[in-house]
Amino acid sequence: MLFSVAVAISLWTYVVYIENPMLDAPIVFDKVPVEFTGEEYLRDYNLIVSDVNVRELSVSFNGRVRDASIISGMTVRAVVDLTDILSYTSPTGTHALSYDLIYDATGASSSVTVEDISALVVEVTVERLVTDTFPIKPLFQGSIAEGYMAGDLTLSRDSVEIAGTEAAIARVSTVSVTLNREELSRTTTDTGTITLFDENGAEIDMEEAGLSFVSSDGTALITQKVLMVKDIALVIDIRDSVTANDSNISIGIDPPTIKLAGDPEDLEPLNIINLGTVDLKSFYLSYDETFQIRIPNNTQNLSGVSTANVTIKIADSSISIRRLSASNISFRNANSADVVTVITESLDIVLRGNEASLEEVTAENIRIVADLSECPKGTTTAPARIYVDGFEDVEAVGSYNVTVTIS
C-alpha cells in the first residue's frame, strides 16, 4: 500500500511539474479599465468625483502552461465602490480606495494567480457638487436661399442647468445650440446639441470636465424662421365719371412698390396692395393725396415707408372747367309730415367737360337736389347732387351741401 501511494505521488509530481510546468513569463493585461460604482449615491449627497489618479491598470497573471489560453481569454476589470466615501467623517478631499479585481479563470487550475499589479489603490478626489443655470444662445450657420431672408431664430428652451465642481462650472462662459443648414427656403426645426464653451471660445468636453446636465438630455429644438422677400405693387382704384376715366387720365404712385417680408404661404399669393378708391368727380383737373400703406398682418415692411403719394391728372387737353352760379335748388327723401325750408339760395358750381360744351351751359341747365334721408330735425346741412341737363359731356365736380331747416 505504501508503495502504491508513493507511485501515485510520483506520477502526480511528474504530470504537474514536468508535463505542465509554470509559465516561463506571466501574461500581462496592460489596459485594465478602472470602473466606478455608486456615483449616483454621491450625487444624492451633492458630491462628485473631480479627479482620479489611475484610469487603467497593468495586471500580470501567472499559472500553468495548460492554463495559458484560459488566462489570455479572460476579461479583467477593476471596480471601485465609491459609496465607501460616504462613511468618512469628511467625504471631500482625496481618498485612497481599494478595488475589486474581477476576472473569470473557470477551467484553469488553482495555480492562476496575480503576479503583479501597477497600483494597489486608486486615489480619487471628491468635491462638492454645485449647479448653475446658463442661458442658451441659438446660432445659425449656413445660408438662406435667394429671395428669402432669415427671421427669428428660437429655441424650445431658454436655459439649462449644469452640475459639476465649482471649478468646472466656472469654466463655462457661453452655452449654445447651432443649426447648420444651407440654402434654406422654408422655416426649419431641428434637434441640436447643447454645447458649452469657455471664455476663449473653445468647446468644453463635458465628460472630461466632469460636467453634466440636470433634468435635460443635452438637446434642444432650434427653429430658424425663413421669410419670403417680395416687391409688391401699390395700386389705386378709380371711380369713373362722365368726363374722366381710364382713357384720359394719368396716375402716378410714389413709391410704386414696397418690399415686404413674410411667411411664404402668406406672401406668395400677394401681388398688389390697394391704397383705396378715388372718385374722379372729387377733383377738378388734377389730384394729389397721401395714402396710408396698410400691409397685411404677419408681414414686415422692409422699405420703411408707411405712406404713398397718389397723383392723378386729366391728360385730355380739350377738358376744362368753368364756374357757374345756380339757384335751382330742390330736395328729396323728406318725411311727408316734415316742413322743409331751404335756406341756401344759390351755389357756385364747378363744371368740367369739353370746352365747347362748357360755353353753352347756363344756370338754367343746372339742378341742385339735396338728399334729406339722413338729416335730423332742425337747421342742418344736406349733401346735394348736381345735374347738368341737356349735356352728356359736362358734369359738376367736387362736393356740395345745402343748408335746410326741417320741422
Distance CA 40, CA 44 (A): 7
The model's pLDDT over 288-328, given as tens digits with 9 standing for 90+, comes to 999 999 999 989 999 999 999 999 999 999 999 999 999 99
Contact call for residues 338 and 376 (beta carbons, < 8 A): no
Sign of CA dihedral 299, 302, 305, 311: negative
The model's pLDDT over 134-155, given as tens digits with 9 standing for 90+, comes to 999 999 999 999 999 999 999 9
Q: Which amino acid is at 58?
A: S
Distance CA 227, CA 267 (A): 9
**What pLDDT is recorded for position 109?**
79
The model's pLDDT over 202-241, given as tens digits with 9 standing for 90+, comes to 999 998 898 999 999 999 999 999 999 999 999 999 999 9
Structural domains in the chain plus CATH codes? 24-128 (2.170.120.30), 130-227 (2.170.120.40), 228-314 (2.170.120.40), 319-406 (2.170.120.30)
Give yes or no for residue 3 having a pLDDT over 90. Answer: no
Residue by residue, what is the 3-state secondary structure of 146-157? Answer: CCEEEEEEEECC
- What three-state secondary structure class fits 74? coil
Residue by residue, what is the 3-state secondary structure of 47-69? Answer: EEEEEECCCEEEEEEECEHHHHH
Buried b (16+ CB within 10 A) or exposed e, 311-334: ebbbeeeebbbeebebeebebeeb
